[in-house]
Amino acid sequence: MEGELPPRRHEVIPGHQIAGEVVNGTPTLPVGSRVGVSWIGGTDGRCWYCRNNMENLCDAPTFTGYVVDGGYAEYVSAREDFVFPLPSSLDDLHAAPLLCAGIIGFRSLRVAGVERRERVGLFGFGASAHLALPVLQAWGCEVYVSTRGGKHRHLASEMGATWVGGETDKPPIALDRAITFAPSGDVVVAALGSLRKGGVVAINAIHLDRVPEFDYDSLLWGERQLRSVANMTRSDAADFLNLAAEIGLKPQVTGFPLDQANEALAAVKRDSINGAAVLVI
Ligand SMILES: [Zn+2]
């Protein structure tokens, strides 16, 4: 919508986190099964990445709501092998935000190499970060949140973050890992500046405004690592949905009727709602 990614088709139905019920089934997914569809609509299964357990980096992927039609609709068609059964403990409204924001947030924690009881920074606190926080808490981690907007800081405090500060504020203690969610290179540099030696910053953003020049000696030297997070694998999705059911993960959501899709998008852009906006049919 914002033109950050070049259009791949002249017209496309957006929406890449879809929860619903199967109406045209298969033997493994009979009619009535509750399922989710994520950003990864399919991979070619043949390229070097697919054959080496890195299907998130597939050379010829299909993206839901970008390359193929997505979920701003009453019905959608999806590849059976890229459809995920949903835990019964989650209704559609609360399951939808898990399907990209949740899974990719979870993958970011994996890419950052988070281990139990570590100190982890979340830079930005929108739809994805607010789902990563309870996962970190379930792992016994201390969570440090730097984010713009009083509303987001308030939500992070309410959810039990160890420390909450402004967008580029430095947490009071050196972090083992940091994940950046804002599409801002300045935030990436702030995250690097918060790490201990050997720490990792994982960038959970499909687009960054720019990467500013930064001081190698103080920010990257000392075996600090800077990594991007691209897409997801089906095992990330399955592992995350199982974990979500196990820890009772429930995203903050605001529902909008389908015919108010533009209002929902505007609310996200204005940052006027906490958590995720979900279109409901
Ligand atoms: Zn591939």
3-class state of residue 103 by DSSP: helix
Backbone angles phi, psi at 17, to 5 degrees: -135, 100
- Cα 191 to ligand 1 centre (Å): 32
pLDDT tens digits, residue range 212-222? 999 999 999 99
Q: How far, in Å, is the centroid of ligand 1 from the Cα of 230? A: 14
DSSP state of 260: G
Ligand 1 centroid to Cα of residue 52, in Å, is 9
CA of 67 to the centre of ligand 1 (A): 15
CA distance 224 to 221: 6
Average pLDDT, the chain: 94
For residue 276, what pLDDT band results from cuts at 50, 70 and 90?
Answer: confident
- The Å distance, Cα 74 to ligand 1 centre, comes to 30
Summarize the confidence of residues 78-106 as an average pLDDT.
93
Q: What percent of the chain has pLDDT over 90?
A: 85
Task: Judge contact between 181 and 175, C-beta under 8 A.
Answer: no
CA of 187 to the centre of ligand 1 (A): 32
Q: Cα–Cα distance between 205 and 196 in angstroms, integer?
A: 22
Q: What's the 7 CA to ligand 1 centre distance in angstroms?
A: 21
Task: Tell how far the Cα of 85 is from the centroid of ligand 1, in angstroms.
Answer: 23
pLDDT in tens, 223-259: 999 999 999 999 999 999 999 999 999 898 999 999 9
Q: Distance from the CA of 63 to the center of ligand 1, in angstroms? A: 13
165-185: per-residue pLDDT in tens? Answer: 998 889 999 999 999 998 899
